[in-house]
Amino acid sequence: MSLLGKVVIVTGAGAGIGAATAVLFASEGASVALVDLNETSLNNVAQQCVVHGKPPLSIKADVANEVEAETIISKTIEYFGQIDILVNNAAIFKMALITDSDMLRQFDSVMNTNLRSVVLLTNLAAPHLKATKGNIVNVSSVTSRWMRVKAASYCVSKAGVEHFTRCAALELAAFGVRVNSVHPGPVRTGMLANALKTVNENEKASDAKRSTALGRLSEPAEIADVILFLASHKARGITGSAYVSDNGFLLKRKLEESR
């Protein structure tokens, strides 16, 4: 599944799914622009990418900041000359009850990073993707179709990503640009560990495993594989689709709800 000659931007590339995706794309010959707020993490992932031959472009930036988002696009074009693939992966997870006094502050923060940045970067990258007939892969979540107490901001943001994906796919199809979303269930990442600790200090990874039909957590590399497929020529007929990789999490939820 060679991506030689392709240029990809991966946001949230410093850890978890983003890091695994960046390294996988580099291993397939792509030129990768790594975007993250954590400079140390960026450097670590960049070193993993270099092993595959091409030094990546590391961009320390806040995807929710309009000026910095513009810098992501301009630096990528300046360094590589084109953009073929945009992977909108950056996200944060914050917990708050709807009745909490700081709920709106938390909501705005989550929405700005998880949803508004996807819209913003899509808007900025679209002219370049039209030129290359490239594509976009947005990382949503199974929480776009499921809800949990204290996680309204995150669930709504990911539902927004799923629906925006369809809207963008419809608009950009006329230019040969595909847009799809990936919906992971529980994945062994720092975000999951923090989410479990926030919800219940006694809740461990084993509880997350039991929430899936297959009784397992995904590794970041598994989600990266799905992203790679959707971004590749093998998925040339796929747009506006939502690919779920959740070990049967949603299936088990539906079964439990029906009882």
- pLDDT tens for each residue of 11-46: 999 999 999 999 999 999 999 999 999 999 999 999
d(CA 3, CA 99): 48
Per-residue pLDDT at 202: 46
pLDDT tier at 73 (50, 70, 90 boundaries)? very high
Closest CA to 236 of 161, 180, 171, 166: 180
CA-based torsion, 211, 213, 214, 218: positive or negative? negative
| pLDDT the model gives residue 201 | 43
Look at residue 195 and tell me whether its pLDDT is greater than 70. Answer: no
| Residues 135, 136, 142, 143, CA torsion sign | negative
pTM of the model: 0.94
Smallest CA-to-CA distance from 32 within 61, 55, 14, 60 is with 55
Domain topology for 7-258? Rossmann fold (3.40.50)
Inform me whether the pLDDT recorded for 97 exceeds 80.
yes
- Cα-Cα-Cα-Cα torsion 228, 229, 230, 232, nearest 10 degrees, comes to 80
Q: For this structure, is 79 an active site residue? A: no
Q: What angle do CA 183, 246, 237 make, to 5 degrees?
A: 50
* Order of all β-strands in the sheet with 31-36: 57-60, 31-36, 7-11, 85-88, 135-139, 178-184, 242-245
Say if residues 26 and 52 touch (Cβ distance below 8 Å): yes
DSSP bridge partners of 139: 182
Q: Where are the domains of the chain?
A: 7-258
Portion of the chain with pLDDT greater than 70, in percent: 93
Q: Residues 207-256: pLDDT tens digits?
A: 788 999 999 999 999 999 999 999 999 999 999 999 999 999 999 988 88
Report the C-alpha gap between 246 and 209 in whole angstroms: 10
Cα(236)–Cα(244) distance, rounded to whole angstroms?
A: 18
Give the active site residue among 93, 107, 146, 154.
Answer: 154
